[in-house]
Each structure stands twice: as structure tokens, then as C-alpha cells.
Amino acid sequence: MPMDEILLDCEEKMESAVSYLRGELRGVRTGRASAGLVDHLKVDYYGSPTDLRQLASIAVPEPTMIMIKPFDPSSVKDIEKAILAANIGMTPMVDGKLIRLNVPALSTERREQLAGQIRKTGESTRVVIRNARRDANKVIEREQKEGLIAEDDAEKGKEDIQDLTKKYEGLVTSILEAKTEEIMEA
């Protein structure tokens, strides 16, 4: 496998880990209303679990309210049931064909719990990034033993992979800091 392919594969894995982290953090409550708090919820719609965002439009008319308008008005009860089952700390108020969610303010203790949860998620992401580095280094070492890559190229490749690791770990750190700041303020 050529060196640039090894690097590209490694970077794709790291980028995927960071994208997953961003998606996970979108669903973390910050005291402000955001569609990301509920759009990933699974609703039992005609027997199959479906993302809420596929069943309804989700709007944020006020900083502390989320409004959900199902495309199919008959699914209001299913959506309400899914929100209650998700235990996200918000009680749905059904208003005819609409569902309103008031986002309560977070206590200091809850903010600290969320910050701790975010740190754990971030550390898991860092582990995935480091595993991608380890896997890429193993590929380089194997190819070097087989004589497909010169020793100098292998060392350069390992340095490039380490640079990628630092870049993506730094990205994780900045994402976590921004989200923690967002949770602790408000």
C-alpha cells in the first residue's frame, strides 16, 4: 500500500471520529433550545424506529422552546411517547398538531455533570484517534519488513501520522472546550 494511501486512510478514520464527536455533542443540553437536542431521537413510527427529523420539522421560535410539527399529524402521540422515553429532561406539551418543549435552565450541579460526560466522550474520541495512528504505524512497519517501503520513507510516514494525531487531538480539545464553555455559561 503506498504511503499516501496509508496516510489518507488514517486521516479518514480520525476525521470520522471527530465527526462522530460533533454529532454526539449536538445532543447535549446547554440550557438553550436547539434542534440538535431532539432531532436524533428514535420514534416508533409504524413499527420501525425512525429519526424524529425525518418525521417532523423542528423549529426553535424562542431561546427556551423547541417546537415540533409532525409531517403526519397522526404521529403526534408516537413522537410524544419517544420524547418521554428518551428521558431528556423535558416534558412535551401537545397542542393539537404541534408539540412544544420548554428547555429548563440547568443547575450548576447538572452543568458539571454534563461537562464530565463531555470529557468522557472526548477521551473516547482521542482513543479512536490513537488507535488509527497505531493501525497506520503497523501497516507502515509491515510494509517496511516486506521491503515495500524504504526505512527513510517509513520514518517520514510515522512522523506525518504523528502530526495528524496531534492535529486531530487538538481539534477534539478545542471542540470540547467550546462545548464546556457553552454549558457553563448561560
CATH (domain of 40) = 3.30.1360.40
Q: Are residues 137 and 176 in the same domain?
A: yes
Phi, psi of 73 (to 5 degrees): -55, -25
71 CB burial (10 A radius; 0-12, 13-18, 19+) = exposed
Rounded Cα gap, residues 110 and 38, in angstroms: 19
Of 83, 102, 121, which marks where a domain is finished?
Answer: 102
Question: The domain containing residue 75 runs over which residues?
Answer: 35-102
pLDDT in tens, the chain (186 residues): 788 899 999 999 999 999 999 988 877 766 677 777 887 888 888 888 988 889 999 998 888 889 999 998 888 999 999 888 887 778 899 988 899 988 877 778 878 888 888 999 999 999 999 999 999 999 999 999 998 888 899 999 999 999 999 999 999 999 999 988 888 875
Of 55, 79, 102, which marks where a domain is finished?
Answer: 102
Q: Are residues 76 and 42 in the same domain?
A: yes
Q: Are residues 93 and 139 in the same domain?
A: no
Q: Are residues 180 and 114 in the same domain?
A: yes
Instruction: Indicate which CATH number applies to the domain containing 130.
Output: 1.10.132.20
Q: Are residues 92 and 117 in the same domain?
A: no
The domain tally of the chain equals 2
46 dihedral zone (left: phi>0; alpha: psi -120 to 50; beta):
left
Q: Are 80 and 99 in contact (CB under 8 A)?
A: yes
Q: Are residues 157 and 114 in the same domain?
A: yes
Of 102, 131, 152, which marks where a domain is finished?
Answer: 102
Map grid coordinates 420548554 to a residue: 102
